[in-house]
Structure 1
């Protein structure tokens, strides 16, 4: 129990007559990466809002370890383009020091944007900035709602690698929502398939063969998920470009990816 960060027990959320989340139980411990997948309208964002304390439960219970620090990366961040806002100012709104803000940008691989306008960032840079903003809180739990949205396929893989590295460095837990099934299967420890209720859950390599998964996502999707060993001697940056080729002989990763065949 000492490593338990969050426990949901029979959690339900209803809006008037609409059942959005129904009887969901979930434990997240330090070191866990739990990915919630499901169709649009399945209640995924509502569920994590209960963890964040933004959405009360209609029934059931939630337990959080005392003093739990949560870092949150939202699905969307709408900013008026007429509002002058630098990356430096945006991060300082967390109350973190300049040194802490710069360190977080270094951790996420975008130290060069510190003095730039937030409106001039690419999709990959923006997602990493939001991740840096979550990291300055030194979180026990990272909550990520579609963290790779707006990032190309190679940039997504790099971002998921980064999330795993932060899990290892901080020994934190991670709850992540994603539709990127082909990459998430390699990026997570546990998958929960949600469609108001928990349809199925388990290890990534098992979940795609579960009948409930096939019923929710369709047989063609489930059958097209295949595991392969991707041996590469290069890195991709947040734009998906190949980098560090000079050191390729010193870097060879073997990482499982699930892709569409």
Structure 2
């Protein structure tokens, strides 16, 4: 197993004397898709900001691989309505040439919107624009904070499919926050349930049966989740990492029951 792209070791983030995130441990390898779920105010955004280096930690440490390239997709894009900014110009702010920027836009399905004003994009188009801006960096680690926010149900499924395809193409690691519990169970390899601390973690097929998950989200939510089986053409090590399989590193496939 290769070294992790990033390791979070006992990280605590404290604001005004209150622990927003407390003693969190996690690691992400190439090929992983790790999803952080939890109630509002659980510290999810704070955790991933600490993971990418945007939020100082109070205790613990975040260890990133040397020369790690991170693509970060925030929750929302806030641009002044009167600011004249096209999609092409927004992408140019990444510092990459027009060719790579146009390829990234095409990859996320919005290449035809290059000359459109950013303010006129739909919610789904804006999320794809933010993803394109992250992908133009060809990241080793893709970090997404609620990537399907403001996107309809069909668009959400398509966006999660795109994220999995990108993971396969770049062999990158993916960390994302999601509230879309039904969809995320099909879109991820491992789930971490956060409520300031890690309540529970594991594979999607198991997590909804965990007592801590049921306590956090309620039994009706837990019982309503679709359960997915792993195809066991691979094994898992003691840390839950995928080993000895025929898919891309870290990739588990799932089928609905």
Deviation, 1:256, is 4.1
Summarize deviations over 1:37-84 as a string: whole Å, max 9, x none. 000010000000111211111111110000000001000111111001
Give 1:177's aligned residue: 177
Deviation, 1:257, is 5.8
Counterpart-to-counterpart distance in 1, 2:105 and 2:228: 32
Please list every run of 5 or more consecutive structure 2 residues that lacks an aligned counterpart in the other structure.
Answer: 230-252
RMSD (Å) for aligned C-alpha atoms: 1.6
Whether the aligned pair in 2 keeps the contact of 1:183 and 1:257 (CA below 8 Å) is: no
SS in 2 for 1:55: coil
Give 2:242's aligned residue: none
Deviation, 1:227, is 3.4
Normalised by the length of structure 1, the TM-score is 0.87
SS in 1 for 2:131: helix
Counterpart-to-counterpart distance in 1, 2:93 and 2:74: 16
Give 1:166's aligned residue: 166
1:10-159 matched pairs, under 5 angstroms: 10-159=10-159
Q: How many residues align?
A: 234
Counterpart-to-counterpart distance in 2, 1:52 and 1:16: 22
Give 1:251's aligned residue: none
Summarize deviations over 1:151-178 as a string: whole Å, max 9, x none. 0011100000000000000000000000
Whether the aligned pair in 1 keeps the contact of 2:204 and 2:227 (CA below 8 Å) is: no
Counterpart-to-counterpart distance in 2, 1:257 and 1:81: 43
Deviation, 1:35, is 0.1
Deviates more, 1:160-169 or 1:108-117: 108-117
Give 1:189's aligned residue: 189
Deviation, 1:2, is 3.2
Counterpart-to-counterpart distance in 2, 1:170 and 1:77: 25
Counterpart-to-counterpart distance in 2, 1:42 and 1:228: 26
Whether the aligned pair in 2 keeps the contact of 1:185 and 1:257 (CA below 8 Å) is: no
SS in 2 for 1:4: coil
Instruction: Evaluate the alpha carbon distance shift between residue 53 and residue 158 of structure 1 in structure 2; reply closer, same or farther with a 3 A threshold.
Output: same
Larger strand proportion of the pair: 1
SS in 1 for 2:96: coil
SS in 2 for 1:27: strand
Whether the aligned pair in 2 keeps the contact of 1:182 and 1:257 (CA below 8 Å) is: no
